[in-house]
Chain A
């Protein structure tokens, strides 16, 4: 203030101009990103929320119907069935993908050519389109697939990988886990490299076993990455669609019909665009709430652990 008071009018004006210019430059820098974000994300979400409150069939003029579509979400049997399947896939899939990824990463954390090869093997399915993976596994697990054809040669009845309701859901989760856990492996291996060697050494000197070191030192150290992986997997699996389409097509008897499949294959393909949009908005909200919930729980746990 003292310094400001000592400035001449011309200096003050010059400083104000410089600040203004700086602000303008900042806004200019942010402009394209903000514009893109608004056009590509904010506007579609706002339009989707509006459409979800209408009875739009995709063709004629939309009429405002308030929260009817959201109410229908809870009395539509297809919707409730699909949520059950989706929840099962999301929870089981996330637990397995994170768990397997962690075990695999811990087993392959040391730097060696063999470990690099197996890490690449684990990650490989992740680079192939999920749609193609689904078709590939359908060719393996289907009634006329490789496994059942081989069994038939020995006079063994086909196994219901894809035609038995319970088995089909298990097969779907297994393929999803196989296709996705490699991504977690990469995340976890990268995180494991950041664990200080002296910490591990100290634990070993204190007499901790390998298992104890992993459980008490390594995993807590990479906990934030595990949280990120959990959130990514959970949100990703809530929107499971492509593997469902190509592996089971939602069948048999709708036993593998996920919520996203329901939205895209049934509601949008029909003429219930308003309802489908309400389903999509609901899905978006559930995903966001779950992501925030998992992150908040993790943060609370971290705070409790550090005593902060």
Chain B
């Protein structure tokens, strides 16, 4: 019996001892010499793990004693990773690609008093209650139509004359007659994403506060310019300008199909340029600003690129702010980040392809860059819902039903 008792005690205590050993055995950043900054980033086809490590190595070289550690997010987004780390009581120092809002702003360091932040792109557009929590490296613009120069030549089209949605529809007709698939789309997020790039340019140029008004319930999709764009889109499907089978194609494969000349036009953001450059197709591709039913050129639907926030609970807040300052103000760091993702920033240039230069010219001529942030930020999950609804147009849903579906969903989100 005594032996049994000892065994039972052993069994009970062993896991606790092991747990304690594991808990005590972990390493510590503080134990190492100097400071280790943990930075959460999103890995993309352009901004690879190697890219980030190279960038951080440059910072470490210029700042002895500081180590910048890349925090991979795995299959989750940056905000989900941040949430996990905060819940685990292990806050990172810096997060890239997260947009603070009124509810979350207190989690991040208020950088308003840092004078350098005023000169960073779109700093005030992304401010929350007038305070700057996020600073970025450049701008991305997304209301762009890339086109295959050979296809346009064969169809006898002049891209500079496509200014309205009717012009665009007519161009698609000519391209189809010339044997081309007029417009490349894809499944995943691309369907809704392209619709947004297209419709936002027109609707939000006409009324930059439209999304804020939708949040207040003062406007609806069914009674707005979005309905006209949905009708145009549905018309393209019915005329065979858009191919339903593309919904089974990934973003990467859709892009490759366009680069390989299988389709004539591709609505995409400026971040397409590095992909075209890498495929050595930049000179074969042209670009024009998204046609609209209003003013031309319209404002560009865009966003801040490579935005950084410093986590308030960071154990190395001052060092983290120094790092973000370097990433967003150091000329070499800026140029490297701009070039890697095809982004732009006033006063900074880097060796660009002919396509990149054309995009820069469109940005220079754009009357505004329309940003969906602050009060103009749509309800969380909207882009997924928009994608779902736009894809339903391919299965016979009417534009009105889609617009009403978007309103119903938005209203249901409280």
Contacts and interface: CB of A to CB of B under 8 A. Distances in A.
Interface stretch (B173-181, B209-217, B246-254, B367-375): B246-254
B12 A59 contact: no
Contacts of B9: 28
Contacts, number: 133
Nearest to A131: B75
B187 interface: yes
Contacts of B397: 253
Q: Which of B106, B244, B247 has the most CB of A within 10 A?
A: B247
Interface size class of A (residues with CB under 8 A): 35 or more
A18 interface: yes
Interface stretch (A109-117, A122-130, A177-185, A268-276): A268-276
A251 to B, nearest CB: 6
A155 interface: no
Q: B-side binding surface: helix, strand, loop or mixed?
A: helix
B384 A266 contact: yes
Given A77-B405, A268-B80, A269-B76, A163 B244 contact: yes
Contacts of A35: 15
A24 interface: yes
B27 to A, nearest CB: 24
A163 B190 CA distance: 14
A302 to B, nearest CB: 38
Nearest to B379: A270
Contact of A25 (B5, B187, B388): B5
A158 B245 contact: yes
Given A58-B83, A163-B244, A251-B188, A72 B380 contact: no
Interface string B1-42: 100110011011011000000000000000000000000000
Interface in B226-264: 244-250, 253
A249 B12 CA distance: 45
Interface of B: 1, 4-5, 8-9, 11-12, 14-15, 76-77, 79-80, 82-83, 86-87, 103-104, 106-107, 187-188, 244-250, 253, 380-381, 384-385, 387-389, 391-392, 394-395, 397, 405, 408-409, 412-414
Given A22-B1, A164-B244, A254-B391, 9 more contacts: A29-B8, A35-B15, A143-B248, A145-B248, A162-B187, A163-B246, A251-B388, A252-B248, A272-B381
